[in-house]
Structure 1
Amino acid sequence: MKLPVTDLIVFIIITLGNVIFGASFFIRNKTSDQFTSGGGKLPAWVVGMSIFATFVSSISFLALPGKAYVSNWNALVFSFAIPIAAIMASKFFVPLYRNLGSISAYNFLEVRFGAWARIYASLCYILTQLMRTGAILLLLALPLNALFGWNIKTIIIITGIAVIVYSMMGGIQAVIWTDAIQGIILIVGALVCAAILTFNMPEGPAQVFEIASANHKFSLGSFGASLTDSTFWVVLIYGLFINLQNYGIDQNFVQRYMTTSSEKKAKSSALFGALLYVPVSLVFFYIGTALFSYYTAQPDLLPGELKAAGMGDKVFPHFIVNGLPTGITGLLIASIFAAGMSTVSTSINSTATIILSDYYQRYFNKNASEKSSMKVLYISSVIFGFLGITISLALVGVESILDAWWSLASIFSGGMLGLFLLAFLSKKVRNIDAAVGVILGVVVIAWMSLSPLYFTEGNALAFKSPFHTNLTIVFGTLVIFLVGFISMKFFAKKETQSN
């Protein structure tokens, strides 16, 4: 399909403008402190918008409407946990990191449990960011594939390189300021699309709700006690653990807490970014539901191949290309790119920061000069970016990108939250207690993650995990925390008896 010139101009101006704007921060990015924390001088509202834009990504922009289109609003329950997690993070974690003064979220673990804990958590973080980057780059490629028919893998490679360039040149200042702009573009694009869908129904806006209600599209899922299905409670618990991990111990967020000039501003930016996401995610789910009603009322507008199972992620891109007025298509595609680029650039910058602070300056060059530190940041940015591109290429063809991302996030997060909770909530838990907890927690995580692949038939079914995949992070976290705490009590009692 040939893109109208107006749409092409809108898309190029917004997308290229973001890249150029981000790269322009190169002149203000001469030290490692400026690269990783912006010198601690960024405005709170900009940091808050950056937190919002980083959290949204194209996973939200494309996969959430896709999820709502094929099922219901069950996944929206995930958003309900975000304010709770953000409030807890602002109350407990922001002051902790600001007082420690380290740009790394994992320095605290080394202080409490030793170097192994810092390495374990930082490696889990890097693996999680690689999976996140791969999923997002793939979602960025879908609309351009629908629009031009271009090869998805080619789009992934070109987009990935563009983001690497501006995030490497501009550092955290470029990432945060472009995030803020991209977040505004994203919100405008989503609202415009929701309005167009609503007011273009054959029988008027009310038809959206009539068709959706008749097909139970507004359901938040079962309220039953099952831990096998994606019930309301399973998604809520999963959301609470993942979001507490995001806002409490994720380097993406912790690094932003260090970019403001005061603790108060850091707290307000965290709350602003979290609370903004909730209504915007509601818009995304509404778009998916409205798409269902739109194509149910006008089935001839949807190609036959998109009516097949597993094609939900491609319905919204199809509507963007074929159902929007000239000019708006370019805006929506630019919005999707803005969402994805903000998250990928954040992952690149934060991972490079971890490589510098947790590895290079810790083990290879404790008195590193600014020149060598900047060199490490640049090289790490490039290597991580290309690894993310490679993973994205490997994900091409996955049936549901959202399900794939949630599963991978649970696996690679490795129960880090449990280790942090041990360190934060109990001053008596020792190195050995934490190590025992992590070992058993990783065993549980591996069992829950791999059992669907290896315990599939015959007697092996008895060893298969009966729990929903989303609960992997929940059980991993709880096992690490509870085993570590019980170990502390047990060994403390033994020591008391021996004395």
Structure 2
Amino acid sequence: MKLLPIADMLIILLYLGGMILVGIYFSRKNRNADQFTTASGKIPGWAIGMSLYATFLSSNTFLGVPGKAFGSNWNAFVFSLSMPLAAWVAARYFVPFYRNTGEVSAYSHLEKRFGPWARTYAVACFLLTQLARMGSIFFGIALSLQALTGYSMISIMIVVGVCIIIYTVLGGMEAVIWTEVAQGVIKTAGALIILYLVITQVSGGLPRILSMGAANNKFSLGSFSPDFTSSTFWVVLLYGFFINLNNFGMDQNYIQRYHTTKSTKEAARSIWLCVYLYVPISLVFFILGSCLYTYYQLHPDLLNEVRYQVAGERLPGGAPEAIARLADTLTAADIGDKIMPHFMVHQIPAGLLGLIIAAIMAAAMSTISSSMNASATIFLVDIYQRYLKPGVASRQSLRILYSATVAFGLLGMMTGIAMIGIKSVLDAWWLLSGIFASGMLGLFLLGIISHSTKGPEALTATVIGLLVVIWMTFPKFIPDPFASLRSPFHQHMIMVIGTLTIFLTGLLLTRRASGKQ
């Protein structure tokens, strides 16, 4: 294991210290819950757009996307291509809706439409989604830093997690947003620097990368056949549209930011700025993965070194012969998440490596901090004030926000630790987000589009939708004699079919109820 040089370690420590100082600086402004959750609505729209961009550009993108492109192709880039359509819907309909409600919670209106159960259900789905998001990002950052520093993944998660908790608790939403602006710049610079370094170290440069990538089908966006049982172009496009619609329209991380701007127009512009930044930069990460594929094909000794490393992690304490045999069977997809950390620790010069690691940490910290703040806000508004103490004083609300932020940070850390050993961080996040988010989005669309749908119809539709999600998520639980009853759809379709089931079933039940009256 190559240990991190002292110069790089100092850069990382300076970065972590700087984030804490930001939290301390903004802590002077947090005098009430409104300032902590929405920065009193005084943040400029461009800063919100950069903040949204930084939230999208998590360590899952920084590490999972190049690993995905290395192991397969550009099929996952279709997710980014779906963003403009989802952004158009959100900017035109969702942003004005939330701004007009004036409520910081994304889910309080569901109680007005369908009853307390709807609000509670959406809150539960959101909090589970945030734990999955924070866990996958904690895991991703620990996976890379373990290879780069030699420290254990658990130790890395604890150190990074404590730093995030400190500046998020101290600074509130304003600290989250302004640190994300800085982190967005650092992430983008880091990605471009790595891309340049890979291209310059490939013999033959970009032409060699293009020819080898084309010969191995590395630039494919997936099959265009109407097949929903595998990860085709259409499956990822549908998944991307629905999950981005959920992000922009139902995710408290984003809804909360709409209230931090001065006007609806600025909030809508922030969404488009996020899209304009994220789509081309996400393409950079796919190009990076293809470049790494060419580089390692031209250096088979290094490729075998990564295979042996992954095999050793899967057989801890195993005999060298057994590890070697397992290493020979590993495919590019099996080692994708390990490729970029390996390249960084062996090919990036000292000093510059510290900056790149800071960029990866920024990718993780921005998303985790926003998830912590949003989760704490939901706990205060939708749980504590709704069920435990409706008339809570402003100062006590602030203490609850502090405590909840710490609690969710620790829970996210524990989720990341529980994820140690998964094969692909990007696949894990996409699966979990699709499971938890489909119910929220279907119920939200039903409430905002069908004004005549009442609570009983919505509840029935939600139960049916949940059963469909369970059926698609756990096909192996169906015994072999009934194998024909297992879901034939790809796991990305859980989000799509779950959402449509709730929405369309609700419309059908509403129509039947209207016909009986």
Interval of TM-score (by shorter of Structure 1 and Structure 2): over 0.9
The alpha-carbon deviation at position 281 of structure 1 amounts to 0.3
Q: Distance in 2 between matches of 1:365 and 1:151?
A: 42
Partner Cα distance (1:193, 1:15) in 2: 21
Choose from 319, 332, 335 the match for 2:359. 335
Is 2:477 the partner of 1:454? Answer: yes
**In the aligned structure 2, how far is the partner of 1:442 from the partner of 1:52?**
31
Q: SS at the partner of 1:479?
A: helix
Letter of the 1:57 partner, please give it: S
CA contact (8 A) 1:444 1:476 kept: yes
Cα displacement string for residues 231-289 of structure 1 (whole angstroms, at most 9, x for unaligned residues): 00000000000000001111000000000011111111111112211001000111111
Q: Contact between 1:76 and 1:220, CA under 8 Å: does it hold in 2?
A: yes
Instruction: After superposing the two structures, state which structure 1 stretch, 5-14 or 412-421, moved more.
Output: 5-14
- Report the residue type matching 1:52 in the other structure: Y
Please state if 1:89 is matched with 2:90: yes
Q: Does 2:509 align with 1:487?
A: yes
Who is 2:15 aligned against?
14
**Displacement of 1:3:** 2.1
TM-score by length of 1: 0.97
Offset from partner CA, 1:361-414 (integer Å, 9 cap, x none): 122222211111011111111111111111111100001111111111111224
Is 2:90–2:249's contact at 8 Å kept on the other side of the alignment? yes
Match of 1:384 among 379, 383, 408: 408
Question: Structure 2: which amino acid aligns with 1:154?
Answer: S
RMSD across aligned positions (CA): 1.2
Q: 1:445 aligns with which of 464, 469, 488?
A: 469
Q: 2:245, 2:297 → 1: CA distance?
A: 38
CA distance in structure 1 between the aligned counterparts of 2:66 and 2:144, rounded to whole angstroms: 14
Residues 71-470 of structure 1 correspond to what in structure 2 (within 5 A)?
A: 71-302=72-303, 303=305, 304-305=307-308, 308-309=330-331, 310-451=334-475, 453-455=476-478, 458-470=480-492
Determine helix, strand or coil for the equivalent of 2:492.
Answer: helix
Question: Once the two structures are superposed, what CA deviation does each residue of 1:122-168 show, in whole Å capped at 9, x if it has no partner?
Answer: 11000000011000001111222112221111111221122111111
Which sits farther off after the overlay, 111-120 or 184-193? 111-120
Matched letter for residue 419 of structure 1: L
2: CA distance, partners of 1:466 / 1:204: 43
Cα separation, 2, equivalents of 1:274 and 1:119 = 31
2:495 is the counterpart of 1:473: yes
1:301 Cα deviation (Å)?
Answer: 3.1
Deviation digits for residues 271-330 of structure 1, max 9, x if unmatched? 111221100100011111100011111222331425733121011011111111222211
On the 8 A contact 1:15/1:338 being kept in 2, the answer is no
Aligned to 1:205, what secondary structure does the other structure show? helix
Whole-angstrom CA distance in 1 between matches of 2:372 and 2:162: 11
Q: Using the TM superposition, give the Cα deviation of residue 43 of structure 1 relative to its aligned residue in structure 2, in angstroms.
A: 1.3
* Letter of the structure 1 residue corresponding to residue 397 of structure 2: S
Letter in 1 for 2:270: S
User: Structure 1, residues 164-183: CA drift from partner, whole Å, max 9, x if none?
Assistant: 11111111011111011000
Per-residue deviation, residues 398-437 of structure 1 (Å, max 9, x unmatched): 0111111111111122421111111111111111111111
1:70 aligns with 2:63: no
**What is the rounded CA distance, in whole Å, between the counterparts of 2:417 and 2:497 in structure 1?**
31
CA distance in 1, matches of 2:128, 2:186: 29
Gaps of 5+ in 1: none
- Whole-Å Cα distance in 1 between the matches of residues 185 and 114 of structure 2? 41
CA contact (8 A) 1:186 1:338 kept: yes
AA in 2 matched with 1:236: L
The one-letter amino acid paired with 1:479 is T
2:457, 2:64 → 1: CA distance? Answer: 40
| Shift of residue 13, structure 1, vs aligned partner | 2.1
- CA drift at 1:454: 1.1
**Are the equivalent residues in 1 in contact too, given 2:3–2:150 (CA < 8 A)?**
no
Output the TM-score relative to the length of structure 2.
0.93
* Structural mapping, 1:38-77, within 5 Å: 38-77=39-78
* Equivalent AA in structure 1 for residue 143 of structure 2: L
Q: Which shows bigger deviation, 429-438 or 253-262?
A: 429-438
Question: C-alpha offsets along residues 13-53 of structure 1, whole Å, 9 cap, x if unaligned?
Answer: 22321232133211111110000000000111111110000
Task: Return 230-239 or 401-410, whichever deviates more.
Answer: 401-410
Report the 3-state secondary structure (helix = DSSP H, G, I; strand = E; otherwise coil) of the residue aligned with 1:91: helix
Distance in 1 separating the partners of 2:241 and 2:82: 5
- Give the count of matched residue pairs: 493
2:35 aligned partner: 34
1:212 touches 1:289 (CA, 8 Å); kept in 2? yes
Distance 2:175 2:282 in 1: 25
Rounded Cα–Cα distance in structure 2 between residues aligned with 1:181 and 1:17 = 11
Work out the CA distance in 1 between the residues paired with 2:155 and 2:477.
34
Write the letter of the residue equivalent to 1:61: F
Alignment check: 8 A CA contact 1:23 1:167 kept: no
Distance in 2 of aligned mates of 1:443 and 1:211? 45
SS of alignment partner, residue 469 of structure 1: coil
Once the two structures are aligned, what percentage of the paired residues are identical? 46
CA contact (8 A) 1:137 1:156 kept: yes
Moved more, 203-212 or 429-438: 203-212
Between stretches 335-344 and 17-26, larger displacement belongs to: 17-26
